Chains A and B, each alone.
Chain A
Amino acid sequence: MSQFTFGRRQVLGLWAALMASAAMPGIAWAAQGGRLLVASDSEPRSLNPAIVASNGVFFIASKVIEPLAEAAYDGLRPLLATGWEGSEDGLSVTFHLREGVSFHDGKPLTSADVAFSAMKVWRALQNIGREVLANLQDVETPDPLTAVFRFSKPMPLQLIENALPVISAVLPRHVYEVEDIAGVTALVGTGPFTFAEHRPGEYYLLKRNPSYWDAGKPLLDEIIYRVLPDRAAAASSLEAGEVQLACFSAVPLTDLARIAKVPGLEVVTKGYEALTYQLVVEINHRNEHLAKLPVRQAIAHAIDKEFVTRTIFQGYATAATGPVPATATQFYSPDVETYAFDPEAANRLLDEAGYARGADGTRFTLRLLPAPYFTETVQFGDYLRQALAAVGIDARIVANDSAAHQKAVYTDHDFDLAVAPPVFRGDPAISTTILVRSGISAGVGFSNQGGFVDEGLDQIIDEALVTLDPAARVALYNQFQRRVTEELPLINVADWTFTSVAATSLTNIANNPRWAVSGWADTELDG
């Protein structure tokens, strides 16, 4: 009977065995979190997300340098800030910082770092922050975990919140407080991964941050971004198992159906909702024909949006109704002027506007500049040429590369129609109203360079900028959408988000609306 008695020894032994079995997976995990290989199509010039707020930079740098809060499907998920509140008058916003967060070099995160980042970097240097935070006067730091942002004009908290994931990457002051902040190439932050190595033309290597504030995370040991500028190479590398993830539609739409059938790979369409791109026809209102509203309406009627989403985007896009995409549920309004595909109506409008068809069936000629940034924008340019030919407008395509297109459209205004892919960044005030607001100086990319002026629209835009009540602000943006579709300063054709192709062994992916550019702390690789 003695072998069945439970003595002190056996209990201790059992306890130790239990502990060991509980700890074992933990140990195995830490040792075999694994190396995630990701395809990357570009090597950004600067990787500092506090200075350059762009998807190409965030794709890599958001794992190293974190913002105050990141986007979630139900609002915002606090990261470096645990909470925030705005003052009644809209002149200040107070951020409460997370306790026990340290930078990769071991120094603790304090409100001084946030104040430095906000005043010296986001507001002074960042491409988006210098617009959104233009009225930021000062950041006070009453204690190490509190930062109070003071504005010279009332600032809607809603706008600040929507901008946080994009503009608020926090830099350590002790590393970056030098004369030439943009010249610092080191990448030091609080993120789940540390920046280990960059071999130009080959790869970026990120390593697990063992002292990340969210204990137990990240779950991966390493992330390697392989530089694969050729899209066919990205697809082949996935098929051969040399990379496990390709984001931002690195695999061409035409290859997706084939790739989806490869065992061990899946096509993921979620995780980009807050990075919606808009397919837009930009219009130069200096052109005497295009200055007439009926002509713009005729062009809108000539475009078969369903055909565009079905054929050019292979179904991975939705027809747009106005300047705010339906994925922006907070602001989207379907109550707008719509233009059904109706070539007859288009012809009638043009006839009535006094543009009779000439002997060759042509009413007038326009220059059409499709943006070269995406295959789809170029293909849509070809489609638009045909669609306009059907209603008697001869659109001649002018093909440029990125730099030449940028200069021709946004600086020289050397176009009649252009195809552009602006991004909707979570709030119309960040990068959408600029597409139609008047008075923007030449040289500003992805903005109203078509010379469109509408005082009514400008008033709505300006009022929304200082309206503090969220509901009133949304109402103004609903008016904005209606007015844009009525006046047609530009024509919104389709809204699309990207696709990822991922190994099925990769879990916890696409779990927030900006996933590709978030921290990936919970992403896990099985087996």
Chain B
Amino acid sequence: MPRVLRLLRRRLLASIPVLLIVVLGTFLLLNAAGGDAVDAYLSSIGGGSAELAQELRQRYGIEGGAVARFLIYASGLLQADLGWSVALNRPVLTAIAERLPNTLWLMGAATALSFTLGSALGVIAGRRPGGLCDRLLSGVSLALYSVPGFWLGLVLSILFAVRLRWFPVSGVETIASGKEGLARALDIAWHLTLPVTALGVIYLALFLRVMRAGMAEAWRQDWALGARARGLSEWRITLNHVARNALLPVVTMLGYQIAGMVGGSVVIESVFGIPGFGRLAQEAVSARDAPLLMGVILVSALVVIVTNLAVDLLYGVLDPRVEA
């Protein structure tokens, strides 16, 4: 598949300056914020003498100038070393490896839920634009889309975890339960139900609306009329022709959504006490932990780049007219 190889090569080359800009931008922004990692740490332990601050700055390796610190970080990066997190007192890579799976599970499940259910409902709504079904679904989706994520999370938590006690309030799995294999997987699924619902429902509405709008547009095309004239069944036109043509913007949306979720899950992660990537980024900022924050952003950028690549490849499959 030469198209795929061409695309891969081009994207790989293009991603190098992107990552470089991301790293440099993060470093500069964090550097511009007042206070450093030692200020953040000392304020959390109730202060300390000037000598202590000096010792800590030396220990954390942040007493040098910004340029020197960036060069040290960048040279480590070239050797695939993400550095040492001063706030967590662990290698950045370890911290990321601990947190990324939680967010990927959360994101993956929420994306799968919102994409499948959202586009399916979108097809139902878009089958007869302006019909009763469409009005009902469009109304509900508009309402869902206007709900802030954290609010939905809190309401779900109060209703299903605090009042009914069907689901746990927080965490990714039962603490120190000693569960293994399938039991553990079920336990994690049980814990992730509410956060995935909260995160998924909002995006579900988005997919529904994009799908429906695409289909409403497609029905007006001449080929839709032609298909009807040829006497194809209503369902066949809907699924094979109209829906398929409306799928492209939905896939575009999918790419955006995955990118957005890496950052957007921070609120849901806080509400449901999930040690995820969004929370890690927030902790890194408040602790002024430059290596950790850059590591988080770098990995997020990689996730976005890979997702966009996957979406582009998917375009080619869905619509052969799209060339690399």
Contacts and interface: CB of A to CB of B under 8 A. Distances in A.
Interface of A: 37, 42-46, 52-57, 127, 130-131, 182, 185, 197, 200-203, 205, 222, 224, 226-230, 232-233, 236-237, 239-242, 373, 400-408, 410-411, 423, 431, 441-447
A496 to B, nearest CB: 16
B172 interface: yes
Nearest to B40: A403
B98 A236 contact: no
Interface in B177-208: none
Max chain B Cβ within 10 angstroms of own Cβ: one of A226, A423, A445: A445
Contacts of A227: 273, 275
B139 interface: no
Nearest to A401: B286
19 contacts: A46-B89, A57-B45, A127-B47, A127-B49, A182-B59, A197-B176, A200-B99, A201-B98, A224-B175, A224-B176, A226-B170, A226-B175, A233-B169, A242-B170, A401-B35, A405-B35, A406-B40, A406-B42, A446-B47
A380 to B, nearest CB: 18
B161 interface: yes
Interface residues of B, number: 54
A232 B267 CA distance: 12
Contacts of A232: 154, 271
B301 interface: no
Contacts of A42: 44
Contacts of A404: 33-35, 39
A201 B34 contact: no
Contact of B169 (A182, A242, A411, A443): A242
B35 A237 contact: no
Contact of B50 (A44, A185, A230, A444): A444
A226 B35 CA distance: 29
* Nearest 5 interchain pairs by C-beta: A201-B275, A403-B35, A404-B34, A445-B47, A403-B40
B161 A202 contact: no
A127 B39 contact: no
Given A236-B170, A407-B36, 9 more contacts: A54-B45, A130-B52, A205-B175, A230-B271, A233-B271, A239-B162, A404-B35, A406-B42, A444-B48
B46 A443 contact: no
Nearest to B280: A201
A13 B36 CA distance: 73
A236 B34 contact: no
Contacts of B145: none
A203 B34 contact: no
Interface of B: 33-37, 39-53, 59, 86-90, 95, 98-99, 102, 154, 157-158, 161-162, 165, 168-172, 175-176, 270-273, 275-276, 279-280, 286-288
Nearest to A35: B176
Nearest to B175: A203
B49 A444 contact: yes
A201 B279 contact: yes
Contact of A406 (B39, B49, B158): B39
A442 B275 contact: no
A297 B45 CA distance: 32
A185 B89 contact: yes
A336 B50 CA distance: 32
Contacts of B40: 402-403, 406
A403 B39 contact: yes
A406 B55 CA distance: 17
A43 B289 CA distance: 15
Contacts of B42: 127, 406, 445
Contacts of B89: 45-46, 185
Contact of B272 (A44, A233, A408, A443): A233
Contacts of A44: 44-45
A242 B168 contact: yes
A130 B52 CA distance: 9
B275 A200 contact: yes
Max chain B Cβ within 10 angstroms of own Cβ: one of A185, A404, A446: A404
A45 B41 contact: yes
A403 B289 CA distance: 11
Given A200-B98, A203-B176, A237-B170, A226 B273 contact: yes
B43 A445 contact: yes
Nearest to B158: A236
Contacts of B52: 127, 130
Contact of B157 (A182, A203, A236, A241): A236
B271 to A, nearest CB: 6
Nearest to B47: A445
Contacts of B99: 200-201
Contacts of B276: 201
A202 B43 contact: no
A141 to B, nearest CB: 27
B49 A131 contact: yes
